[in-house]
Structure formats: C-alpha cells, structure tokens
Structure 1
Amino acid sequence: MNEARLFYPPRSTGMVFHLLVMMALFGLGAWGLWRASEISIGLALFLYLLPVLLALILLPLLAYRLYALRSARYLVERDGFHLIWGMRVEDIPMQAVIWVKPIEELGIRLPLPWLRWPGAVVGVRRLRDGRRVEFLSARSRRLVVIGLPEKLYVISPQDPQAFLQACRESMELGSLSPMPSRSVYPGFLLARVWQTPAARSLILIGLLLNLTALSWVILAIPARASITLGFGPGREPVPAARLLLLPVLSISFFLMDFFLGLWLFRRTEAQTSDHPWLGTLRMIPGRTTAYLLWLCGVIVSSLFLTAVISIAR
C-alpha cells in the first residue's frame, strides 16, 4: 500500500497580502492613467505613466505568486515526496532523501531568499559548501528541511509535526518501487509554448500589434495639441495625450490574455473540468482554450490599433 498524505502551506496571510497589494497597484495604475489623460505632453505625463508601468510589470508577478500559493501542496508517500508550488514541481525519490528535520535542528542558519514577502518565500540560495537551498514555502519560520546529498528543500507545511511524523512512518515502511526523480520549472512551460508554431505566431502577432499602436501614438501626440475621440457630448476635443489610453488598455488586455493562456496551456481536459467557473470552456482541452484566448488577444489588439490610426490620422 502506497497511501499518500497531503499537506498544505499556511495560505490565509499570504493570500490577503497578495490581494491587498494587487488592489493597491491596480488603483495606483488607474489613477496614473487617469491623470496622464488629463494633461498635455511633457515631463508630468511620463511621471504619471510610471505607476501604470509599475502596475503592468508587478501585477502579473503577484498574480502568479498568488496562484502558486493557492495551488501549493506537499505529498508524502512511501516512494518519495511530491512538492508542488504553482508551475514548479519536484518529485524526490525516498531513497535519495538523507534526512527530514525542522530547520531549528540543522545547527546552521540557512540564508533566506533575497526577494520574499508573506505567502512567497520562494527562491534558491547557496551554502558555503556549494549546496543549493531551494525554498518552496509561505513563511520564514516553522520550516521543514528535506536533505539530499547536494541539495536542500525548505518547505512550510501548516502542521510541521504532523508532516515530520508522516515522513518517519513512510521512511520506516520503505519504498515499494523507485520513484523517478522529476524537476519541472515555470521556464519549461514558456519553452513549450515557444516551440509550438500556432502559439508562437499568435503571441508575436499580438505583441507586434501593440508595439505598433504604442509607437503610432508616441509619434502622433507631439504633432497635435488635441484630438477628438468620437464620443462624449458635442464631440469636444481633448488633450492629445489622452490617446495614450488606447495602447495602454490594449497592452493590459494583451497581458491578461497572455498569462491566462499560459495557465490554460498546461492544463489537461480533466484538470479543467475541476473548475466549473470556466463554464462551457471546461470541456475544451486547455491548450485549445489557450489558442482561442490568444486569438481573442490578437483581435482586440487589432481593434485598438485600428482605433488609434483612425483617431490620429
């Protein structure tokens, strides 16, 4: 019998932190975009666009870290360990494990990841002897360390004592059959997407459309003081800088489509069916859904580019 025991990291604090920071960034980006649309070209315009740029960069990172925390789990069985943290997966054969112990019993202080926050203590550091230390944890205390000859894994089960007890029981029972060692990194997914001609073409077309729209606006704004967007009472002219709204919105939609498509790309039909909120898409294989989403991104970007050209000409 090879019954697996499932453990989760503490989630509540990290999820609240991620959601609050994401809402703050979204509000800051929206404020910067609104202020940028109210003024003319100049230094102030670019200063107001900085929060927008910051939000576009950090929101996808925080969204992935939130997803990784939500999906994180540790499985212990007689044949080994399964460590899952978002798109990072590590399968460790039991025969490769030397020991499992609380971090307090190590006798040395492990360096924590440089970039960390509640719910995302994730990263790789090195000890003085050259061994790699990989953190897949949600907190910086009450950690458990899995020791291998050349690497340490640091995790944060909600109940460390129950996890250690499960490890002792599994080690005492012994392995039934050797578990193959497996390491999956988020970068592997990007490589698979890039190697798929349809996905690569859709993403590159969408990126090219957005860069074209942004370049067109940057060149058009200095040449005119005002523009007519075509809606509002009396079709009154507005500052030309407001045209920046269109490429910024287009890029925002494109990024949302891109990252959601990445998530769907790696999901199988069975996994997708576990999420009823996907509605009628839940019966479509994840890869097909990703293609449809990226195609929608291309269509939306085309519409925004058409609007930019029509208004700025």
Structure 2
Amino acid sequence: MTEGIFYPPRQRGMVVLGILLTLLAGIFAWGSWNASQAEVGPVFMIQILLTLAVALPLPLIAYRTYALIRANYHLGRDKLIFSWGLRIEEIPLTDIEWVRPATDLTVPLRLPRFRLPGSILGLRRHPDLGTVEFLASDVETLLLVATAKRVFAISPADPRRFARDFQLATELGSLASTPAISTYPSFIVVEAWNSLLARYLWLSGLLLNIGLLAWTSILIPGLESITLGFNATGVPHAPFPPVQLMLLPFISFALFVVGWIAGLYFYRWEEQQILAFIIWASGTLTGILFLVAVLFAITPPT
C-alpha cells in the first residue's frame, strides 16, 4: 500500500473566508481613516470602538483561512496524521478502533457553536461517543475516527476512498510502532512563553504599544496641529488635524500583532526559531520608532 494524502473540500470555505477577511480588513481601514478625520469627542470614540471591534476577529479569520489552505489527512502504513493549521494529531493505526460516517449515528452529532463554511473546528459532547473533536470543512462528508481517548470528526473530499484505504492499511498491519502525538496552537504559545527572551520581547512590544496609545490620547486634546513629514524638496507638509496622530498607534499595534503571529509560525521549527526572535525584536524596535515618530510629529518644524 502507498501512503495517501486526503484533502478536505476547500472551495466554498475559501470563498466565504476570503470574502469575510477582505470585508473586515476593508471596514477596519475605512474606520481607521474616518477616525483620523473626526474631531476629538463622542464621535471619535465611537469610531475608535467600532474599528477595534472589527479588528478583533481579523486574526481568527486569517488563521482559519491559513488552516484550511494547509489542512490534510495523511494516511500511512503505520499512522494517521491530521494537520489543520497549527493543530497536528498523529495517531498510530493500532490505536484506531473504527472509522464510520457520521450519518450512521442514531443520535445526531451536534456541530461546534462557532463555525464557518470551510472551518468546522472545536469540541462537542455526544451521549454515545463522549468528546468529539472536529477537524473538518464540510458537514456532508463527515467521517468519525474513534480512538480510546477521543473521537475525531474529519471531512475528506472522498470519504469512501478514505475508509477503503484505511481498511486496507489495517489489514496489511503496521510495520513499526509509533507514539501518539498531539500538537495544539496553544502549545506553541506556552512553549515560546517559557523562553525568557521571547517573554521579554512580547511584553516590551505590548507595553510600548499601550504606552504609545495612552501618550497619543493625552497629547491630542492639547494640540492645534501636527506635521507629518516632508515633501521631496525637504519642505514640511501642511499641518494636519491632531486627531490624525491616532493613526500611528493603530498602525504600530497592527504591525505588532502580525509580527507576533508570524513569529509563532517560525517558532515551531527549532532551526527557524532565530527568525521568530528577529521578528519579535523587530516588533519592539518598531514600537520605539513609532514613539519617535509621534515626538517628531508634535515638534514644530524649524
């Protein structure tokens, strides 16, 4: 038997997640621009709060899109591997008790509460099966894979072929004994947090951004105008309304979050952890540079 890689249905999920990601990013950019044009007051605060509310789900939608792109089920001679973003489950074939369609259940399987097309992830309790973990993209192709510890709900695009190949693999028997391995996204965060250098870079970058936001908020009411850079001839640009200074902490924080996530991606591999530290250090340096930028913006040109 040759090893096989099965992919979940992706087309519908990629379309929906892509639209959501684009829509939220567009609303965030539009809200940030409107907030930069508003006068300091209730309207300004409402714009800021709405922009932040839209920004909160952006990393989650981006991660679920990435996870769907990378998702696959690898059926080998010795083990079955589920890969869904940063979630990886390696199960020895000898630990699998049975594989069957979810439609065979007498009590219907309840889906996770927070789900999106192409992203059916999470845990649910079933009266007969116990805890069921979903690593699926499509309800129509759900297969249940049962082990002694947990049942997994997966959705290979061709569930019949998957079940047939699994049956063949179990009949042939394993060539070697392999351990069961579970990797969760939170595990990477905890592992990185145990590094003193990573912890220092995370906290310093976060505190710099919080301080930048607080300092900017205090400065704005007392400013009449600000200057943001020079033109090609070295002449300062015309003064801007001071509320536009709020763009700087927003941009700085967005870069910090993107850098933090990118660093976690590289931290998964020991040989690439140096790249993670470089990215996190860049986030701290960026926060310092934005603090300097605010200082220059409030200093009248000479």
TM above 0.5, yes or no, is: yes
Count how many residue pairs are aligned between Structure 1 and Structure 2. Answer: 296
Q: Structure 2: how far apart are the matches of 1:162 and 1:130?
A: 24
Q: Which residue of 2 aligns with 1:308?
A: 294
**Alignment counterpart, residue 258 of structure 2, candidates 256, 269, 278:** 256
Q: Output aligned runs, 1:1-313, within 5 Å.
A: 3-128=2-127, 131-231=130-230, 235-267=237-269, 285-312=271-298
For structure 2, which runs of at least 5 residues remain unmatched after alignment?
none
Deviation at 1:308, TM superposition (A): 1.5
After TM superposition, the structure 1 stretch with the greater mean CA deviation from structure 2, 28-37 or 39-48, is 39-48
Q: Structure 2: how far apart are the matches of 1:3 and 1:159?
A: 17
Deviations 1:125-153 (Å, cap 9, x if unpaired)? 11235711000001122211112234210
* Segments of 4+ moved more than 6 angstroms: none
Alignment check: 8 A CA contact 2:134 2:154 kept: yes
Q: Structure 2: how far apart are the matches of 1:286 and 1:138?
A: 30
- Give the AA of the match of 2:252: S
Deviation at 1:225, TM superposition (A): 4.4
Q: Structure 2: how far apart are the matches of 1:249 and 1:79?
A: 48
- Give the AA of the match of 1:307: A
Q: Which residue of 2 aligns with 1:274?
A: none
With the length of structure 1 as denominator, give the TM-score of the two structures: 0.88
What is the percentage of aligned positions where both structures have the same residue? 38
Alignment check: 8 A CA contact 1:131 1:150 kept: no
Q: Structure 2: how far apart are the matches of 1:164 and 1:130?
A: 19
After TM superposition, the structure 1 stretch with the greater mean CA deviation from structure 2, 241-250 or 144-153, is 144-153
Q: Structure 1: how far apart are the matches of 2:96 and 2:66?
A: 28
Alignment check: 8 A CA contact 2:129 2:151 kept: no
CA 1:301 to 1:255, structure 2 compared with 1: closer, same or farther past 3 Å? same
What's the Cα RMSD here? 1.9
With the length of structure 2 as denominator, give the TM-score of the two structures: 0.91
- Give the AA of the match of 1:143: L
Q: Which residue of 2 aligns with 1:272?
A: none
For structure 1, which runs of at least 5 residues remain unmatched after alignment?
269-284
